[in-house]
A and B are shown apart, each in its own frame.
Chain A
Amino acid sequence: EDLRVDGRGCEDYRCAEVETDVVSNTSGSARVKLGETDILIGIKAEMGTPKLEKPDEGYLEFFVDCSSNSPELEGRGGEELGTDIANTLYRVFSCENSVDLKSLCINPKEHCWVLYVDVLLLECGGNIFDAISIAVKAALFSTRIPKVRVLEDEEGTKEIELSDDPYDCIRLNVDEVPCIVTLSKIGYRHVVDATLQEEACSLASLLISVTSKGAITSMKKVGKGSLDPESIFEMMETGQRVGKSLHIALQKILDEEESSGASRPKVGFLG
């Protein structure tokens, strides 16, 4: 029987609200409200030097802040949770094809774009990983990186020139960006998008990052309980199915927001 406490089936998500471009001084931003969970993401593109082992690629840096949640997470308390989420995001995005990092390169070995992704956990209502990954994809979709040209001087010194037109920018291709699907094991079944009460009842969960084509890029098990190998296969299949429909719904909303343009009044993240 497929009935949870709030009437959803085991594979249903709560109603999600997605909005991009809410923070004006960032290159890209998004706010996602998944039931009670509220996430705000801002992406800033800055120039930096590429990593030594990947000289012709840019990279992403994740930083998660959970201090606005509850008194126990104030100050240093939320650091553990924050680093946990950040490490998971690094792992999910460590797959080579997820973001086209070569397009972020300006000058091999010297200059590249670094995307600093700042995640703000406004309210935790269960299932933060899914909401964060949806918000990251939406924010990357809305990121606008200004176009730069490299001018070479006579002496060989390179100068970086920013184009004058503020709308002349490069957008990222987010087709391969994966989304995390959290499957929590409760009793003998597993559920998607657990609320806080359901998370308290589940001893083990599986975090699967799925691309829009259904390919699994990474997997992580959290929780102090154990998972049976057969149930892991079942959860993987469920994760792939749910992940595909999640991507379709998200892309539809992002396209809808893009096409409505400036005519739609922005709701923002205050209140």
Chain B
Amino acid sequence: MAAVTMRLPAVRPPLDSSAPRGGEKHLVAPGDTITTDTGYMRGHGTYVEDDKLIASVAGVVERVNKLVCVRALKARYNGEIGDIVVGRITEVQQKRWKVETNSRLDSVLLLSSINLPGGELRRKSAEDELAMRDYLQEGDLISAEVQSIFSDGAVSLHTRSLKYGKLGQGVLVQVSPSLVKRQKTHFHDLPCGASVILGNNGFIWIYPTPEQKDDEAGGYTANLEPVPLSEREVISRLRNCILALVTHKIMLFDTSILYCYEASLPHQIKDILKPEVTEEIVLEARQRLLDLEG
């Protein structure tokens, strides 16, 4: 049965951030003067004009001793060594793949940095080079870790562990990289029945929890069996919850997603994206997070 809901638009005031944060945040817009003191070194996001330090991006001013930089609120992903990213293969080149990770340049996945199926370790020969497309094709999604950063800022990835590799069936949610909280682990098995990979580049992958954990042939065999409806409902609900949290700029980590999921259970999955329901569940999740902090 078709359900068409229409409504008249209403101006929704933003959720008041009544939680007092530790210390005042110095927010600047492009062109704002940060300081006129010439003793500071300029970092990213600033430039000097007429002896004044001016911000070039919109964001928060961060100061470390004498270094002043502006961290932008909405920016492309800047790779750091050790980050987990989820990316999509865009090109297959001679000895490497180009991976799109929402950064300024396409990331690089060298042939020597991947794990072969079955977990074997050997030098890659010329036949491996010709068979690259059998491992990863254009359009495939992979999870990888940042190995190093080139001088131009491009990120080099590696999948040298059985937990990284090609991703099978699931749902991808693209958010801003600044909303993903840095944690010890980014692979979470949520108790509600799905697993989630929170990529530092803002790509979040939600997938059904695999039953056996150690049959991963290096992550190259894609499980194409149809996913049962109950798991698909959990995944859809998680996806909508993540989008709700993103709309209200809440940091994403396993606890916040879980609280939001539990707050959304009384509602239908498709209602979560309605503005009033979004506000309600995000408020409840935020309250629980504040109570957790103590």
A interface list, Cβ under 8 A from B:
1, 3-9, 11-19, 31, 33, 192, 241-242, 245-246, 248-250, 252-253, 256-257, 260, 264-265, 267
Contacts and interface: CB of A to CB of B under 8 A. Distances in A.
A33 B2 contact: no
Contacts of A267: 9-11
- Most chain A CB inside 10 Å of its own CB: which residue of B3, B229, B232: B3
Contact of A15 (B11, B232, B239, B274): B274
Contacts of A16: 4-7
A242 B171 CA distance: 27
Contacts of A250: 6
Given A6-B236, A6-B240, A11 B2 contact: yes
Contact of A17 (B2, B8, B239): B8
Contacts of A248: 4
Interface of B: 1-11, 171, 229, 232-233, 236-237, 239-240, 268-270, 272-274
Nearest to B267: A7
A7 B239 CA distance: 9
Contacts of A246: 2, 4
B273 A256 contact: no
B6 A9 contact: no
Contacts of A11: 1-3
Nearest to A241: B2
A109 B237 CA distance: 60
Contacts, number: 88
B176 to A, nearest CB: 16
A17 B270 contact: no
A241 B4 CA distance: 11
B2 A12 contact: yes
Contact of A245 (B2, B240, B269, B272): B2
Contacts of A19: 8-9
Given A5-B239, A7-B237, A249 B9 contact: no
A19 B11 CA distance: 12
Contacts of A3: 229, 232-233, 236, 269
A256 B8 contact: yes
21 contacts: A1-B229, A3-B229, A4-B236, A6-B239, A6-B240, A6-B270, A7-B268, A9-B3, A11-B1, A12-B4, A15-B5, A15-B274, A17-B6, A17-B7, A192-B2, A249-B6, A252-B6, A256-B8, A260-B8, A264-B8, A267-B11
Contacts of B269: 3, 6-7
A245 B239 CA distance: 28
Given A15-B7, A15-B274, A31-B9, 6 more contacts: A3-B229, A4-B236, A7-B237, A17-B9, A245-B4, A257-B8
A248 B3 CA distance: 11
A245 to B, nearest CB: 5
Contacts of A249: 4-6
User: SS class of chain B's interface: helix, strand, loop or mixed?
Assistant: mixed
B273 A6 contact: yes
Contacts of B4: 12-13, 16, 242, 245-246, 248-249
- Most chain B CB inside 10 Å of its own CB: which residue of A5, A17, A33, A257: A5
A7 B6 contact: no
B278 to A, nearest CB: 11
Given A3-B232, A6-B239, A253-B8, A15 B2 contact: no
- Most chain B CB inside 10 Å of its own CB: which residue of A1, A7, A9, A17: A7
Contacts of B239: 5-6
A24 to B, nearest CB: 17
Nearest to B232: A3
**In the A-B complex, the 5 residue pairs with the closest CB atoms:** A7-B269, A7-B270, A11-B2, A17-B9, A267-B9
Contacts of A13: 2-5
A19 B10 CA distance: 10
A12 B7 contact: no
Nearest to B5: A15
A62 B2 CA distance: 30
B241 to A, nearest CB: 11
Contacts of A256: 8
A242 B2 contact: yes
A183 to B, nearest CB: 12
Contacts of B232: 1, 3
A31 B233 CA distance: 33
Nearest to B272: A7
Contacts of B5: 13, 15-16, 249
A193 B5 CA distance: 13
A248 B6 CA distance: 10
Contacts of B8: 17-19, 253, 256-257, 260, 264
A7 B269 CA distance: 5
Contacts of B3: 9, 11-13, 245
A261 to B, nearest CB: 12
A39 B273 CA distance: 20
- Most chain B CB inside 10 Å of its own CB: which residue of A15, A246, A248, A257: A15
B11 A8 contact: no
A253 B236 contact: no
